[in-house]
Amino acid sequence: MDERLRIIIAKPGLDGHDRGAKVVARALRDAGHEVIYTGLRRTPEEIVRTVIDEDADFLGLSSLSGAHNFLIPKIVELLKHSDCNDVIVFAGGIIPEHDRNNLYSKGVRAIFGPGTSSTQMSEFIDSAAKRRLESLPVGCGEDSDWHWD
Ligand code: B12
């Protein structure tokens, strides 16, 4: 797809692992998107503020600290309360398989672990953007159990 999308890559909480987030931000920029990396240790409120200020299409959350079950649903809830139901949320880092279905049920549309290639991420971004173009539900607050496998 040729669409240039606005994507925020964020590091919520006290997690100090930033290599993966920087790799992802670079890969998506190289794929032609407009990418903003928040930097480390952002609060859920700061992240949602950035999404709103930057009028982002996608929010990518990187978590390697084990706090994903608390922080990611909290951010999705704040997005919904801020009328950002159409923002497409995806995540990556150290997120065990057994935690993933719960995050999908909250509105996260893809989760990527170590070793993810830029091709895999781009395929997801393109598929999600295509769903949005076709008016199929894909935003974090839109009712659908669709997610990337
Ligand atoms: C390097 C490293 C560190 C470095 C971090 C340097 C830095 N600036 O990033 C240092 C030494 C500082 C560090 C510290 C700690 N670490 Co450490 N660290 C690692 C290690 C070895 C590699 C992480 C890495 O950089 N990988 C390379 C990058 C490119 O890969 P990645 O981050 O996984 O990202 C890829 C995917 O996950 C995905 N991805 C990641 N984020 C996102 C976001 C989106 C939106 C998408 C789409 C994809 C995506 O795409 C990326 C590209 O493929 C991992 C073990 C491992 N093998 O993963 C442990 C690991 C993450 N660390 C761990 C721990 C416990 C710690 C410490 C708590 C240790 C301690 N007791 O002090 C501290 C915490 C520091 C802190 N404040 O958070 C644990 C976490 C356990 C958990 N979550 O359950 C791990 C898994 C080691 C382990 N097996 O126990 N660590």
Span 65-100, pLDDT tens digits: 999 999 999 999 999 999 999 999 999 999 999 999
- Other C-beta atoms lying within 10 Å of the C-beta of residue 14: 10
Quickly name the fold that domain 6-133 has. Rossmann fold (3.40.50)
Q: Is 105's pLDDT higher than 90?
A: yes
Tell me, what amino acid is at 118? S
List residues bridging with 42 in a β-sheet: 12
Structure tokens at 40: 């480390």
**Which distant-in-sequence residues (6+ apart) come within 8 Å of 146 by Cβ?**
109, 131, 136, 137, 138
Ligand 1 atom closest to 110 (CA): 47
What is the C-alpha to C-alpha distance for residues 79 and 133, in angstroms, rounded to an integer? 21
- Other C-beta atoms lying within 10 Å of the C-beta of residue 60: 25
Instruction: State pLDDT tens for residues 39-68.
Output: 999 999 999 999 999 999 999 999 999 999
pTM for the model: 0.97
C-beta 57 within 6 A of ligand 1: no
Ligand 1 atom closest to 21 (CA): 41
Helix or strand run (H / E) with residue 136: none
